Amino acid sequence: MSALICHTSSGIPLSFVTRSNLSDWLEQQSIFLQNWLKSCDFKKHGLALVVNEQSGSLAHAYCLVDSLDDFWLAGDLASKLPEGRYQIQDLDEKLEQIALGFMLGGYEFSEYKVNSAVKAQLAIEDKAIFTRLNHQASAINLVRDLVNTPAADMMPQHLSQVMADLATTYQGEFSEWVGDELLEQNYPTIHMVGRASENKPRLLDLKWGDKNAPLVTLVGKGVCFDSGGLDLKPSSGMRNMKKDMGGAAHVIGLAQLIMAAGLPIRLRVLVPAVENAVSRNAFRPGDVIKTRKGIMVEIDNTDAEGRLVLCDALSEAQNDEPELLIDFATLTGACRVALGTELPGFFSTNRDVANGIIDSGMGVNDPVWQLPLFEQYKGFLKSDVADMTNCSNTPFGGAITAALYLKEFVEPTTDWVHFDVMAWNLRSLPGRPAGGEALGVRAVFNYLQSRFESA
């Protein structure tokens, strides 16, 4: 359970006042409070700590905000408030979203440094809300932790241990295929991308839930570090490539949230986990590989490796005919150019599913944006020596052509959603510290919850 909230009914009152209502609100307060807020320049600083007139102890905290509808209005309070337990006043209908913003803002990755030890807590009286908040914050922060961890400590074997531990915690089943077992079991592209690394490539497989429930399968790109392979990245492009397993982190965090909430589904999670390294046996531009599905793919660029490991996993995912197949990947810079780093793009073969995810994301302030599977661009994947290439021969529409590549490995009857995410905050915003980030996880969870709990 998070130390940022506690299950209790008492705490120092914490009130939020909107700027537009400040003048009218002040007129209704005591002369003491009016003078106190004026002396601490509340209008400018936006946070005021008011002491008890008799004891001198902290009696009330006031926060000035632009809107009470802002999901992140408490997103930076965990580090601003002094040590103590606080209770939000008069906002019962918004309590859960405000508290979640508070908790996510209190996140700090401190595995390799001394934690600043945020000491402010929110008091949550409702046990159900308290539990839901812990489930959501734990899942989001798991994604962040996995992405933030240096590659030396987050290789395929480490991802394997994380998924095995989750399976144990939630009474699931975990299995994996490692190294040359991938060739024996016909996962050739996963093996090809990861074979140059001393950290053996793996396909990780977690199963959970009632075998008679609807099957939802999640696939996550687990490239634990991406050098670019023989098409080596420049140093600036390689600097943050520990985050290239961000897709795997997303589906692992989403899986934890699904299992903790006990959604009435049968869940399968597939993570092709590799390091795209450079060695004498690294795959080369111009090589041709026969994928699990049997499609022959010519390697145009070894830095387009994510779609290669995903295509075998997507093929495997359809063996048991999932009702819904969702993948997450840090796949293209083109999607970042189109939408920026803070709005994840996604593609879908089912318009109703896409609209449901968009609406769910808006409902929990986790926005996502649909991009088109524009079939006309499929021609950019043409190869003269194989069925197709692994990347386009044009710099334009890169997110679309990557999605179209993956679509070739998805059966037409399968409802499929493909997320192309940054998995990283370039800047700190309230509730969203710089570094690893979960984007679209709450949107998808909210969609799955509304779809399957009401079924």
Q: Which residues are known to be catalytic?
A: 233, 307
Q: Are strands 416-420 and 345-348 parallel, antiparallel or unpaired?
A: antiparallel
Q: What is the rounded CA–CA span in Å between residue 262 and residue 175?
A: 21
Q: What is the rounded CA–CA span in Å between residue 37 and residue 46?
A: 10
> Is the distance from CB of 87 to CB of 122 less than 8 angstroms?
yes
Q: What is the rounded CA–CA span in Å between residue 108 and residue 118?
A: 9
The β-bridge partners of 435 are 425
Q: If you write DSSP's letter for every residue of 25-71 in order, what string do you get?
A: HHHTS-HHHHHHHHHTTHHHHSEEEEE-TTT-SEEEEEEEES-TT-T
Helix 246-261 and helix 127-148, axial crossing angle in degrees, nearest 10:
160
End-to-end C-alpha distance for the chain, whole angstroms: 30
The β-bridge partners of 47 are 63
Q: Are strands 202-208 and 215-220 parallel, antiparallel or unpaired?
A: unpaired
Tokens of residue 443, six digits = 């949107």
DSSP secondary structure letter of residue 429 = B
Q: What is the rounded CA–CA span in Å between residue 223 and residue 236?
A: 18
Select from 233, 239, 246, 353 the least CA-distant residue to 302. 233
Q: What is the rounded CA–CA span in Å between residue 352 and residue 363?
A: 16
Amino acid in position 331? L
DSSP secondary structure letter of residue 151 = G
> Is the distance from CB of 16 to CB of 63 less than 8 angstroms?
yes
Q: If you write DSSP's letter for every residue of 168-234 in order, what string do you get?
A: HHTT-EEEEEETTHHHHTT-HHHHHHHTTSSS--EEEEEEES-TTSPEEEEEE-EEEEE--TTSPPP
Select from 304, 305, 253, 299 the least CA-distant residue to 275. 305
Cα–Cα distances in Å, from 159 out to 198, 326, 327?
Answer: 15, 19, 17
Torsion of CA 317, 318, 320, 322, to 10 degrees: 90
Tokens of residue 440, six digits = 């679209």
The β-bridge partners of 61 are 14, 49
